[in-house]
Structures are given as structure tokens and as C-alpha cells.
Structure 1
Amino acid sequence: MKLQYQLNIAFTTLLIVIMSVTGYVIYSLILDLLIEDERRHLEQTGETLVSVLTDSYGTREEIQQTNEFLQDQDLHLFLYDRFQDTVLSSTMPDRIVDGFRQNNSFAENTENLWEFGNHNYVTSRIVFQPEGTGLELILLTPMNDLQAVQQDFVTRLLLVFLIGAIAAVLLSTFLTTKLVTPLTQLKWQLKKIEKRQFDDIERIKATGEIKEVEQSVYEMAEELRRYMHTQQTFFQNASHELKTPLMTIQGYAEGIRDHVFEEKDQEKGLEIMMAEVSRLKTIINEMILLAKLDSEPTAYESAEINIPILIDQVADRMLPLVSEKGIDFHQNVEVDSTLVADEEKLLRALLNLTINGIRHANSQVNLNVYKRNQMIVMTIEDDGEGIPEDLIPHIFHRFVKGKNGETGLGLAIARAIIEQSGGKIRLAKSEIGGAKFEVIFPD
């Protein structure tokens, strides 16, 4: 079932439940309210009659002779003498008066509802003043009249509910359509992503959480497009990087087989073949390592690493290369703390970054470690020519090589290790003119 129909059904069901409960509560209370209101009305009417009778007739004997006056009132009432337990006058026939006396106690002044036949009556008793007269005026209203008012009120209430329900359902349909339409459009954009039609993806208009989902889908599509382009470039570069040494090896191997080279050239060819085999081995090993880093989280064995000791290990391993190239290597560690990562792999990442700096430096490489905003920051910078502008967006991609680069995998491996270790790596502006890499870990 479509989401729009589900939302409409859920909203309509909720509306019906609320209206049913509300209607039941109102239906239950309305009769009590009508009875109470009618009793107050009877009491006001009775007090007016009693006042008129008292003012006009005065004494008990005179009041007892007011039958003609009472008969003129369009009311159900009794003039009751509680001392003699006698109905002195009534606006109703004698048989009805007798019926009331058989079913109800006129002397009981706490009963608010009387019965006669199959009907109930709301009563109100007004005592003549002074109370020594013993006279009471008892007024009655049939419950049928109140129930008719109740039914009329409920009928109108149901009509209002029905109109409100229709309006609410129409509004619900409009709102759910407005809500679901962006989701439907988003579904078609996902279909385009599934078919890799990235150029046909369109932005959709939405608000709230749906807009956030749409933005995430769009960013995912862009990232997927970039990833697929990177993979395509990777395979192209990988095939190129592997093909070149293979062609060299093949050429020399065929020349040696066909005795094209002299003995001296054959030895030179064998040396070149060995160098290319070593280069191939390095490329393949780094490709395998990078694949494991990207796909096998179990390849990481996290442990607590002492940062000063880790930096000392980097410096010790760089000493021969620094001495060979005559580079000034400076290290400065301002923190004495630890971080949790795979020590061997993190050392590999820092070595890759440091070797890259030494390879491109003119005379100086700096390795600094310090704290900034509750973060541990490691920087490796050199005073070389820096990274060309066109390579900066792709510098951490596979087989992207700058001048004097080797396999083009070193920075990609460093990035994969650092990110899997919970850190971040980025390019920064160097103060000594060359390239500067920042490695950031939470403290």
C-alpha cells in the first residue's frame, strides 16, 4: 500500500477515534447538563409564582384557593400541603395526580426525578414563606422534552463532526500529497542513481527532514560519481603503471632470447629487468595493502601508542635518507600523551608522508606535534616547490603522482590508514614554502 494511503487511513482512523470518544463524552454529559439547567429554570419559575401568590393572597387559607390562578399556568405543577400530605391543587388531571402519588413520595423532598408510567420527570420544590404555612409548589418537566433537546443537539453535533471530518480528510489528502510527492520524485532520482545516470539527476523541492534526505541523496550521488570516476581512473592508471615495466621486461627478455644483445648489454638488460620486477612487486604489494585497508577493518590491531616514542621511530628510520640527501630534519613534540591506533600502520602512514616531504624538499623538513582545540595535530612540511594547483583536489587519490613521485600510492595509503585510525589528513599552507600535511586526531 502506498505511503499516501497509509497516512490518510491512519489520520482518518485517529480522527474517527477522537470524534467517537468526544461524542460519547458529550452525549453522556449533555443530559445531566440539561437536567441541571431545567431544574434551575423550574426553580426560578417556581420562586416567581410563589412570590406572586404570597403577595396576592397572603394567608394560607387564601393561597389554598388559588386553583384558578394555577390552572392558567402552562406548567406541570402541584400545590402540596406537607402538613396534611395532600395535593391542594394541580394543573394536571386527577388520575395523573393519583399516579404520581402511587409511584413517588410527595413528602420526600430529596428526590429530583419522579416516575409516572414509562416516563421520568425533573422536579423542583419551592417552599412558601414563612415555612410555617407547610405549603410547597412542586414543578415538573417531562424528561422526554429534555431527551428531545439532547437528540437534537447530538444530531447537530454529528453534522458538525461530519463536516469537520470531510474537511479534515480533504486537508489530510492535500498535506499527505504535498508530503509524499517529494518522496516519489526522490524515488525516481534514486532509480537514476541505480542506473548510473548521474548527469540526469535533478534537485527536488522539499522542506524539513525530506529536504535533508534529498540533500544526503544528492551528496551520495556526487560521491558515488566521484568514486566511480576514481575507480575508472585507478584502473587506467594501474594498467599503465603495470604495463610499462612489463613491456620493458618483455622487450629485454625477447632480446636476450633472440641473442640481439651483446654479452655486456645482456647483463645490463638483466639488471633492468630485476629493477622493473622489484618496482612491479612494490606496486602490487602497495595495491594489495591499500585494498586491505579499504575493505578489511580486521586488518587494524588498535593499541595505545605513546606519541613521542612514535615520532622518535619515524626520525630513526628517516636518518639514512636524510643523510643521503643532505636534508635538515627537525622534529618538535609538544605533547606527552597517547592515542589508540594500529602502531605499525600509523608508523607506515607517517613514514610515507615524511619520505614524500624529503623527496621534494630543497633543504629542510619539519615534523611537529602539538595540541590545538582539544585535538592532537601532527604536521609534516618541506621547503620544496609545493604541490601543483591542478593536483591538489586529487593528491590523496591512487596513482596520482607529482614530480619525482614513485608509485602514486603512498599518500593514498597514508590517508586510508589515518582515517581508519579515527583521524583526518588534509593539506595546509606551509610556512617554509613547500607542501604541508596536517594529521589530526581527537585527544
Structure 2
Amino acid sequence: MKLQYQLNAAFTTLLLVIMTVTGYVIYSLILDLLIQDEQRQLKQKGEILVDVLNERYGTRQDIQQYSDFLQDQDLQLFLYDRNQNAVFYSTMSSRVTAGFFQANNFEDTSEMLWEYGNDKYVTSRIVVYPEATGLELILLTPMNDLQVVQQNFIFRLFIVFLIGAAAAVLLSYFLTNKLVTPLSQLKQQLKKIEKRQFDEVERIQATGEIKEVEQSIFEMSEELQRYMKSQQTFFQNASHELKTPLMTIQGYAEGIRDKIFDEKDEEKGLEVMVTEVNRLKAIINEMILLAKLDSEPDVYDPKKIDASELINQVIDRTMPLVNEKEILIKQDVDDDITLFADEEKLLRALLNLTFNAIRHAKSQVGIHVYKKNRAVIITVEDDGEGIADNLIPHIFHRFVKGKNGETGLGLAIARAIVEQSGGEINVGESGLGGAKFEVIFHL
């Protein structure tokens, strides 16, 4: 069943339950109210009659003479003698009077509903003054009359409920349709994403949580599109990076096999082959490492690291290349800075950034570690030519190389390590004139 029908069915069921309970409560209350109102009216009539009796007739014999007057009132009533527990006078026949007297306790003043046959009667009792007479005027009204009023009221109430329910169901259909329509449109957009038709994905109009879901789906679509494009670029670059050394190796191997090189060229060819094999090995090792960093979180073993000791290790391992290029490397590490990360992996990431800076530097490289706004920031910068503006958005992608780059995987590995360690890495322009890489770990 569609969501819209489910919502309409749930709302209609809830509405019916509420209306049923409300109708039952009103049905019960209205009868009680009618009984109370009828008793009030009977009491008013009875008090008027008692006042007339008290004014004109003072003795029991006088009251007997007033029977014609009571008979003319078209009321169902008894004059009850409490002293003798007997009906002194009634406007009803003697048979009916005897039936009432047998079926009900006239002495019980708390009983407001009497029975006769299959019918019930509402009663009201008024004492005839003076009380010494021991007489009470008891007036009755059949419950059937009240039930007719009750049923008429409930029928009209049912008509009102019916009209209100119809209006509520129509409003429910309108609102659920307004709610479900964006979901149906989202389903269509998800189908496009499933078929990889990213360029055809459209934004939809929605509000509230559905708008947030729509925004997330749109962002997911863009991210998937970027990811698939990056994967295509990755495979293209990977095939190119692997094919070039393989072609070189194949060329020299076939030349040596076919004896087309002299002894000197053959020895040179073997050296080139060894160099290309080492290059292939380095590329493959870095690809394997990058795959592990992306897919195996358990390869990380985070622990507390002293930032000063970590930078000293970076300086020690890059010193041979620094001396070879005759450049100056400076470090500035604030005191008492501790990181929580995998020391070996983070060292690898910083070495990749530092080696990259050394290769592009003209005369100096700077490493700075400091705290700012509850974050530890590590910067590696150089005074080289910097990074081209069109290359900056893709610099951390795999096999993206700048000038003098090697495998094109070093910065991708650095980013994977930093992000897996809970940090972020950015690139920008250095105050020294070259590139500046910034690694941020939030405390």
C-alpha cells in the first residue's frame, strides 16, 4: 500500500475512534443533563402546586377537595403520606398507582428514577407544608420522552460529525498528498542516481525534514559523481603510470634478447630496467598502502605522540636530501604539544609533505607546530614556485603530479592518513613564496 493511502487510512481510523468515543460520552452526558433539567422543571411545577395547596387548603380534607384542580393539570403525580406510607391521591388510575407502589420504594427519598413495567420515570419530590401533614407531592415524567429528545440531539450531532469527518478526510488527503508528492519526486531522482544519470538529477520543492533529506540526496549525488570521475581518472592515471615503465622495460628486454645493443648499451639498458622496476615497485607499494588506508581502519594504532619528537624524526630522515640540495630547513615547535594518532603513519604523512617541499624549494623549508583555537596546527612550507591554481583543487587526488613530482601518490597518502587520524589537510600559498601545507588536529 502506498504511503499516502496508509496515512489517510491511519488518519481516518483515528478520526473514527475519536468520534465514536466522543459520541458515546456525549450520548451518556446528554441523558444525565436531560434528567437533571426535567427534575428541575418538575420541582418548579411541584412548588407552584404546593404553594397553591398551602394557600387555599390547610387540612387533609381541604386537599381532597382540590383533586379536581390537580386532575386538570395533566400531570402524573402522587400525594404520598409519609406517616402512613400510603398514596393519599394520584392523577393516575388505581391499578397504575398500585403497580408503582409495588415496584418502587416510596420511602426512599434518594431514588430519583422509578420503574413501572418496562418503562422508567424521572421523579421529583416536594414537601407539602406544614410538614405535620406528612404529605409529599411526587411528580413523574416518562423517560421515553427524554430519550426521544436525546435521540434527536444525537442524530443532529451525527450529521455534524459526518460533515466534519468528510471535511477532515478531504483536508487529510490534501495534506498527505502535499507531503507524499516530494517523496515520490525524491524516488524518481534516486532512480536517476541508481542509473548514474547524475546530470539529470533535479532539485525538488520541499520543506522541513523532507527538504533536509532532499539536500542530502543532492549532495550525495554530487559526491558520487565526483567519486566516479575520480575513479575513472585514477584508473587512467594508474594505467599510464604503470604502462610507461613497463614499455621501457619491454623495449630494453627485447633489444637485449635480439642482440641489437653492444656491450656498453646493453649494460646501460640493464641499469634502466632495474631503475624502472624499482619505480614500479614503489608505485605498487604506495597503491597497496593507499588501498589499506582507505579500506582497513584497523591498520591504525593511535597513541599519544610528542610533537617535538615527531618533528625531530622528520628532520633526521630528510637530512640526506636537504644536504644534497643544499637548502635550509627550519623547525619551530611550541612546547608541550601532544597528538593522538598512529605515530608511524603520521610520520609517513609528514615525510611525504616535507620531501615534496624539499624537492620544490629553492633555498629553505619551514616546519611549524603550534596551538590555535583549541587545535594543533602543523605547517610545512617552502620558497619554491608554488602550486598552479588549476592544480590546487586536485592536488590530493591520486596520480596528480606537479612539476618534479614522482609517483603522484604521496599527497594522496598524506591526506588519507591525516583524515583517518581525525584531522584535515589544506594547501595554500606560503609567506615564503611557495606552497604551504597545513595539517589541523582539533582538540
TM tier relative to shorter chain: over 0.9
- Is the partner of 1:390 in helix, strand or coil? coil
Q: What corresponds to 2:289 in structure 1?
A: 289
CA distance in 2, matches of 1:333, 1:59: 120
Q: What corresponds to 2:401 in structure 1?
A: 401
Alpha-carbon distance, 1:222 to partner = 0.6
CA distance in 2, matches of 1:377, 1:52: 105
Alignment of 1:30-69 (within 5 A): 30-57=30-57, 61-69=61-69
Matched, 1:254 2:235: no
Alignment of 1:6-45 (within 5 A): 6-45=6-45
Alpha-carbon distance, 1:373 to partner = 2.4
Equivalent AA in structure 1 for residue 437 of structure 2: F
TM-aligned CA distance change 1:273 to 1:124, over 3 Å: same
TM-aligned CA distance change 1:366 to 1:56, over 3 Å: farther
Equivalent AA in structure 1 for residue 376 of structure 2: I
Q: What corresponds to 2:211 in structure 1?
A: 211
CA distance in 2, matches of 1:126, 1:335: 101
Alpha-carbon distance, 1:390 to partner = 0.4
1:261-311, Cα deviation, whole Å (9 max, x unpaired): 333222222222222221111111111111111122222233333333222
TM-aligned CA distance change 1:259 to 1:10, over 3 Å: same
Equivalent AA in structure 2 for residue 421 of structure 1: S
Q: What corresponds to 1:314 in structure 2?
A: 314
Q: What corresponds to 2:365 in structure 1?
A: 365
Which of 45-54 and 232-241 deviates more?
45-54
Alpha-carbon distance, 1:410 to partner = 0.7
Q: What corresponds to 1:137 in structure 2?
A: 137
TM-score normalised by the chain length of structure 2? 0.93
CA distance in 1, matches of 2:342, 2:355: 20
Alpha-carbon distance, 1:133 to partner = 3.5
- Is the partner of 1:389 in helix, strand or coil? coil
Task: Work out whether residues 335 and 371 of structure 1, in 8 Å CA contact, stay in contact via their aligned partners in 2.
Answer: no
- Is the partner of 2:206 in helix, strand or coil? coil
Equivalent AA in structure 2 for residue 242 of structure 1: L
CA distance in 1, matches of 2:373, 2:128: 91
CA distance in 2, matches of 1:74, 1:430: 111
Q: What corresponds to 1:303 in structure 2?
A: 303
TM-aligned CA distance change 1:123 to 1:282, over 3 Å: same
1:85-109, Cα deviation, whole Å (9 max, x unpaired): 4434333223222221122232332
TM-aligned CA distance change 1:65 to 1:359, over 3 Å: farther
TM-aligned CA distance change 1:409 to 1:99, over 3 Å: same
Alpha-carbon distance, 1:51 to partner = 2.9
Alpha-carbon distance, 1:394 to partner = 0.8
Equivalent AA in structure 1 for residue 291 of structure 2: A
CA distance in 2, matches of 1:79, 1:124: 12
- Is the partner of 1:346 in helix, strand or coil? helix
1:174-223, Cα deviation, whole Å (9 max, x unpaired): 22222122111111111111111111111111111111111111111111
Task: Work out whether residues 425 and 437 of structure 1, in 8 Å CA contact, stay in contact via their aligned partners in 2.
Answer: yes
Equivalent AA in structure 2 for residue 144 of structure 1: N
Alpha-carbon distance, 1:428 to partner = 4.1
Which of 291-300 and 219-228 deviates more?
291-300
1:351-370, Cα deviation, whole Å (9 max, x unpaired): 11111122222222222222
CA distance in 2, matches of 1:421, 1:42: 89
CA distance in 2, matches of 1:270, 1:105: 128
Count the aligned residue pairs: 443
Q: What corresponds to 1:5 in structure 2?
A: 5
Q: Provide the alpha-carbon RMSD of the alignment.
A: 2.1
Alpha-carbon distance, 1:227 to partner = 0.6
Equivalent AA in structure 2 for residue 321 of structure 1: L
Q: What corresponds to 2:178 in structure 1?
A: 178
Q: What corresponds to 2:328 in structure 1?
A: 328
1:155-190, Cα deviation, whole Å (9 max, x unpaired): 333333333322222222222222122111111111
Which of 20-29 and 132-141 deviates more?
20-29
Alpha-carbon distance, 1:337 to partner = 4.3
1:324-360, Cα deviation, whole Å (9 max, x unpaired): 2222222222252433322211111111111112222
1:357-396, Cα deviation, whole Å (9 max, x unpaired): 2222222222222222222222222222221110111111
- Is the partner of 1:31 in helix, strand or coil? helix
TM-score normalised by the chain length of structure 1? 0.93
Matched, 1:340 2:324: no
1:62-86, Cα deviation, whole Å (9 max, x unpaired): 4443222222223222233323444
CA distance in 2, matches of 1:284, 1:125: 108
CA distance in 2, matches of 1:441, 1:103: 93
Q: What corresponds to 2:391 in structure 1?
A: 391
Percentage of pairs with the same residue: 72
Task: Work out whether residues 386 and 429 of structure 2, in 8 Å CA contact, stay in contact via their aligned partners in 1.
Answer: no
Which of 138-147 and 128-137 deviates more?
128-137
Q: What corresponds to 1:382 in structure 2?
A: 382
Alpha-carbon distance, 1:56 to partner = 4.6
Task: Work out whether residues 54 and 63 of structure 1, in 8 Å CA contact, stay in contact via their aligned partners in 2.
Answer: no
Task: Work out whether residues 330 and 365 of structure 1, in 8 Å CA contact, stay in contact via their aligned partners in 2.
Answer: yes
- Is the partner of 2:65 in helix, strand or coil? coil
Equivalent AA in structure 2 for residue 365 of structure 1: V
- Is the partner of 2:329 in helix, strand or coil? strand
Which of 233-242 and 78-87 deviates more?
78-87
